[in-house]
A = this chain, B = another copy of it.
Amino acid sequence: MSNARIGILTISDRASRGEYEDKGGPAIRDWFTRVLISPWEAVALVVPDEQQLIEAALIELCDIEGCSLVVTTGGTGPALRDVTPEATIAVCSKMMPGFGELMRAASLKFVPTAILSRQTAGIRGKSLIVNLPGKPSAIDDCLNAVFPAIPYCIDLVEGDRLESDPKQCNAFRPQSAAIRKN
């Protein structure tokens, strides 16, 4: 079983210039290190909040690096420089609105400003792209909410198989999944 590859894309003007320590990317890596029990490796990039550069990084992580899952951190708010969702939509062939809905609903239990997040998710080829917030604590809340559906989603687009520790976060595959392949 070869390593599954997970792209971790930090989107931040300040982090890309080295003015600010990237905290979102490491928080995502820590979460997957704790939860995944199948072999995997991270491919991490940092880009500024420029739509064209974000799109290029997403395409590289999906098409060249062969990441079955690409998670972004940062750039999902309402401010002028926040363009991560627009870049995500531009590179995906299919959008998955349920991810954004559930992540906002999950974050809303903690802060009323959760509705300001424009996070989305979509499919590009055999890769799933998911936008996460910039703030480390909010990253955990969002991954805990949506990860249970991620391994089966990647199965359906014929990406790498991910297995999680059910004591950490319980990935769900329908019982009919094996049958449906026949």
Chain A residues engaging chain B, CB cutoff 8 angstroms: 77-80, 82, 86, 94-102, 104-105, 108, 111-118, 123, 128, 135, 146, 148-149, 152-153, 156-157, 170, 172-174, 176
Contact = CB atoms under 8 A, between A and B. Distances in A.
Number of copies: 3
Listed residue (A112, A170, A172) with the most chain B CB atoms within 10 angstroms of its CB: A112
30 contacts: A78-B94, A78-B123, A79-B156, A79-B157, A94-B118, A96-B115, A96-B116, A97-B97, A97-B100, A98-B100, A98-B104, A99-B115, A101-B101, A101-B104, A102-B104, A102-B115, A111-B174, A112-B148, A112-B149, A112-B170, A112-B172, A113-B149, A113-B153, A113-B172, A114-B149, A115-B146, A115-B149, A116-B149, A116-B152, A116-B156
Nearest to A117: B98
Contacts of A80: 157
B96 A156 contact: no
Contacts of A116: 96, 98, 149, 152-153, 156
A78 B157 contact: yes
